[in-house]
Amino acid sequence: MSRAARLLDLLQVFRRYKRPVSGASLAEELGVSLRTIYRDIETLKSQGAAIDGEAGVGFVLKPGFMLPPLMFTEDEIEALVLGSRWVAEQADQPLGAAARNALTKIAAVLPDDLKAGLDESTLLVVPGPPLAAGESELPRIRDAIRRQRKLSISYADVNGACSERTIWPIALAFFDRARVVVSWCELRNDFRHFRADRIIGLTVQTAAYPQRRAVLMKQWQAREGAHLRTRPGD
């Protein structure tokens, strides 16, 4: 492995840790000596990486450090292309446009030989069916999730029966044939999964829900996460 590749790998490892990690752990993960890790950390610091810590205590990379001109493997480029193409075809229009814009920005900083791989990728995504009426609200739902806002929705179940719900949206799952809003439902006093195409009315409330989204996500993952892989929605 080249030294440049090793430095990039070290940065990627640092980004996975929010708390200080020991030099010994870094050395073991990257398969190099502890002396090499210390030398590489000093090199990254000289290039502008804000790495705090010291030997025997641990090191942590402060957020905000930007990578130099990007280097990707062929598999990584194909993964980026496939992912962006899937989002462009399967998500709502604003998110699809964001995926295309992100790929354009990545292409702008790639070397010419790697940039060609973006245009020449042979991995294709088949266009999905048009969004259902309720799914046109996906941008507002995503915004509510980011801002941790309650939603008032009119929701039709599988039999067409309609109910009024106040929910705390915490995640949005994309299936091939459905988009599912993972939420805490005040009516049921429990987690519920709502298909976006069955939402027939939606209002974003000004009030934030009382618990942090991260806490709710952990609770949902512990109780319901495995079921969502096979159950598109209530």
Contact between residue 202 and residue 190 where contact means Cβ atoms under 8 Å apart: no
Torsion over CA: 64, 65, 68, 72 (sign): negative
Looking at the fold, whether 52 and 78 belong to one and the same domain comes out as no
Residue 66 covered by a domain = no
Looking at the fold, whether 54 and 81 belong to one and the same domain comes out as no
**Which residue, 144, 173, 147, 152, is CA-closest to 234?**
173
Phi/psi of residue 134, nearest 5 degrees: -65, -30
| pTM (two decimals) | 0.64
Residue 50 covered by a domain = yes
**Quick one: three-class SS letters along 62-84?**
CCCCCCCCCCCCHHHHHHHHHHH
Domain-terminating residue out of 16, 35, 61: 61
- The tens place of each residue's pLDDT in the chain, 234 residues long, gives 667 778 888 888 888 888 899 999 999 999 999 999 999 999 888 877 888 988 888 999 887 665 555 566 778 788 888 888 888 888 888 888 888 888 887 777 676 766 777 777 777 777 766 666 556 789 999 999 999 999 999 999 888 899 999 999 999 998 877 889 999 999 999 999 999 999 999 999 998 999 999 999 999 998 875 555 555 555
Check which CATH number belongs to the domain holding 210 and give it: 2.30.30
Residue 128 covered by a domain = no
Contact between residue 116 and residue 107 where contact means Cβ atoms under 8 Å apart: no
Which residue range forms the structural domain that includes residue 192? 133-228
Residue 67 covered by a domain = no
Looking at the fold, whether 56 and 90 belong to one and the same domain comes out as no
* Model pLDDT, residue 74: 74
Distance CA(38)–CA(65), nearest Å, equals 19
Looking at the fold, whether 44 and 83 belong to one and the same domain comes out as no
- The total number of structural domains in the chain stands at 3
